[in-house]
Amino acid sequence: NAGVTQTPKFQVLKTGQSMTLQCAQDMNHEYMSWYRQDPGMGLRLIHYSVGAGITDQGEVPNGYNVSRSTTEDFPLRLLSAAPSQTSVYFCASSYSGASSGANVLTFGAGSRLTVL
């Protein structure tokens, strides 16, 4: 049981480049989400999805796109990287509904992105 797998773990980009952070989970979780973690700012929600084919914006969506074509995968795309997007990115997933484990997030190991 791999849990939530994020790739790559580290990435350096130049301003204006694009890239995709991959996220996959094997727990059949309905809810998936992307956060960025910056010093003093906590975790801020970028985008989230409550099921395949459904995505919505979080607190800081500008400059990022997502799609959810399958239950397992939730890639995050940076369209034109900017230095302000230098951060640590976490993908997380959970069951929805009323079960005892519902809404408890399982996090990936994180992806550290530096934009020069």
| One residue of 48, 64, 74, 89 binding another protein per CB under 8 A | 48
Q: Taking CB under 8 A as the rule, does residue 44 contact another protein?
A: yes
Q: Does 104 bind another protein (CB under 8 A)?
A: yes
Is residue 54 a contact residue for another protein (CB under 8 A)? no
Contact flag: residue 34 with another protein (CB under 8 A): no
Residue 44 has which token pair? 């801020």
- Decide: is 103 part of the binding site for another protein (CB under 8 A): yes
Q: What is the 3-state secondary structure (H, E, C) of the chain?
A: CCCEEEECCEEEECCCCCEEEEEEECCCCCEEEEEEEECCCEEEEEEEEEECCEEEECCCCCCEEECCCCCCECCEEECCCCHHHCEEEEEEEECCCCCCCCCCCEECCCEEEEEC
Which range binds another protein by CB under 8 A, 10-18, 37-45, 64-72, 78-86?
A: 37-45
By CB under 8 A, tell whether 42 contacts another protein.
yes
Structure token pair of residue 114:
């530096």
Q: Which residues bind another protein (CB under 8 A)?
A: 31, 33, 35, 40-45, 48, 56, 58-59, 90, 92, 94, 102-105, 107-110
